Amino acid sequence: MGLFDLTDLVVERSLAGASQRQEVLANNLANANTAGFKRSDVDFESSLASALGSGNPAAAVAGVSFQPKVDNASPTQADGNNVNMETEMSGLTENAVEYETLTEIEKNRMAMLSSAIGGGA
């Protein structure tokens, strides 16, 4: 095993997923007044969960990619747009908290690693 284990890999992929979700939700907001635009969202958590549940989690997690899904189910306005300000803003907040938690976890793991390297000195 190298310096970084499966947990580090999962945290890294989750951060990538969360930053992609930030992009997708920001894109929804930017297109809040574009006629005919349909909102998208990324469910990176379930993609990661199924990768972790597979036979070879390390390889599956390393190779996981997240696809934004177009949401056709949300109520659509007269101009064909289904962006909902509240949904996007709460999604962004939720995503930001998740991202911060993940960076905090990775920070702690880095600190542990550096204290192990330094022999606790």
Partner 1 sequence: MGDMFGAIGISASGMAAERLRMDVTSDNLANADSTKGANGLPYQRQEVVLQAGGQSFSDALGNAQAGVQVSGIVNDPTPDRQVYDPGNPDANAQGYVTMPNVNTVTEMTDLITESRSYEADTQAMNTAKELYLKTLDVLR
CB of 114 vs partner 1, minimal distance in Å = 11
Nearer to partner 1, 9 or 16 (CB): 16
* By the rule CB under 8 A, 20 interacts with partner 1: yes
CA 40 remoteness from chain centre: 14
The region that residue 82 occupies, defined by phi over 0 for left and psi between -120 and 50 for alpha, beta otherwise, is: alpha
61 near partner 1 (CB under 8 A): no
Residue from 49, 110, 112, 116 in contact with partner 1 (CB under 8 A): 110
* Residue 18 vs 55, nearer CB to partner 1: 18
The only residue of 8, 58, 62, 99 in contact with partner 1, by rule CB under 8 A: 99
Structure-token match 């962004």, residue found: 92
5 binds partner 1 (CB under 8 A): no
Residue 40, phi then psi, degrees to nearest 5: -125, 165
